Structure 1
Amino acid sequence: GADSSTVNTQSRMPFMYSSQHSNMVAIELLLDKGSDVNAIDECEWTPLLYAIIYSMSNVIKLLIDRGAGVNARNRNGWTPLLAAVHFGRHKAVKLLL
């Protein structure tokens, strides 16, 4: 099979793309195969941050349930909660609190 830790030019892994597009089957498979739920890209964004930005509530819940760092900060100091508030993702705010 393909290497789930392969990255593109922005240091994004297949797991991050799956988090952006709410592909639950792919996310669960990648996590089960050892993908890091707290992986970061070149901007220090995690799959949880991408799921929040793209309003993927089901992905947010899954990532939190699988151990995503809800207090992790990117290089600009943004936490998942700050991103959810900033982008008006009310469901994400509720899931994070």
Structure 2
Amino acid sequence: MRALAAVPVSLALAVALLAGGAIGAPVVPSAPAAEAPELHVAARNDHASTVMSLLLKGVDPNVRDAQRNTALHVAIREESGKAFEALLKSPGTDVKAINQAGETPLMLAAIKGRLDWVQALVAHGALINEPGWSALHYAAAGPNEQVVRWLVQQGAELDARSPNGTTPLMMAAGYGGLSGAEILIEAGADVTLLNDQRLSAADFARRAGQDDMADKLDRLAKARAKASGAGRTAP
């Protein structure tokens, strides 16, 4: 898989792990458990009882590690389901916390393809639409099109722009499953948009070797441009 646009390092790593390849970002190993807050170690190891014990002792559920991850970020990243549930039970857990890479727990759950976690986080107040990279960008780069569909149904911004202008459709076409791209197209995502590198969703698909999807996106973009031009010239 080739690099198509600048993405947050952890998003790049997650995409690479899900796809079984690399997209240009070096793999940075997690900090040793001894250097992490005790709550993070428990979350990483999915020790829900330890998580609950620490919280009952007054440990801050939102304590940060060196990358500004909370224990909730860690639980999702490591797919520690019991720890995730334990942390959500704490009223003090900040489901909107943002780590050093600009990621919320919802974004990480979205790229993991965990619809149940995505729904639970939103039910606890996580924001679907964030400025810059959004949960829909992450879902589009992930393995589960149902997460894409659900976020769209909940009002996720279809054409959300990352800091470099990349849209969820571009991410789906270049990194995610094509069924996610189809959902976004059906929902009305703008196929004509370009990011700051002047790349379209069709370019993302073509560079990823998805020629059929690239051709479809090109046809849709041309049809939209033609229709738009006819509308401007009509009397």
For residue 75 of structure 2, the aligned residue among 9, 12, 18 is 18
Where in structure 2 are there 5+ consecutive unaligned residues? 1-53, 153-235
Q: Which runs of 4+ in 1 moved over 6 A?
A: none
For residue 128 of structure 2, the aligned residue among 61, 67, 70 is 70
For residue 39 of structure 1, the aligned residue among 97, 106, 111 is 97
Q: 1:18-48: CA deviations, max 9, x gaps?
A: 1234434322322332110100001110000
1:51-62 to structure 2, matched below 5 A, reads 51-62=109-120
Higher relative contact order (CA 8 A, sep 6+): 1
Q: For residue 78 of structure 1, what is the amino acid of its counterpart?
A: W
TM-score in terms of structure 1 length: 0.81
Q: For residue 17 of structure 1, what is the amino acid of its counterpart?
A: V
Report the RMSD for the aligned CA atoms in angstroms: 1.8
Q: Which shifted more, 24-33 or 12-21?
A: 24-33
CA gap of 1:88–1:25, structure 2 versus 1, over 3 A, is closer
Q: SS of 1:68's equivalent?
A: coil
TM-score in terms of structure 2 length: 0.37
Contact 2:112–2:143 at 8 Å: present in 1 too? Answer: no
Contact 2:77–2:108 at 8 Å: present in 1 too? Answer: yes
CA gap of 1:25–1:36, structure 2 versus 1, over 3 A, is same
- Distance, in Å, in 1 between the alignment partners of 2:142 and 2:111 is 7
Residue 64 (structure 2) aligns with? 7
Q: CA deviation at 1:88?
A: 5.2
Contact 1:16–1:47 at 8 Å: present in 2 too? Answer: yes
Q: SS of 1:45's equivalent?
A: coil
How many residues align? The count is 94
Structure with bigger helix share is 2
Residue 139 (structure 2) aligns with? 84
Q: State percent identity of aligned pairs.
A: 28
Q: SS of 1:6's equivalent?
A: coil
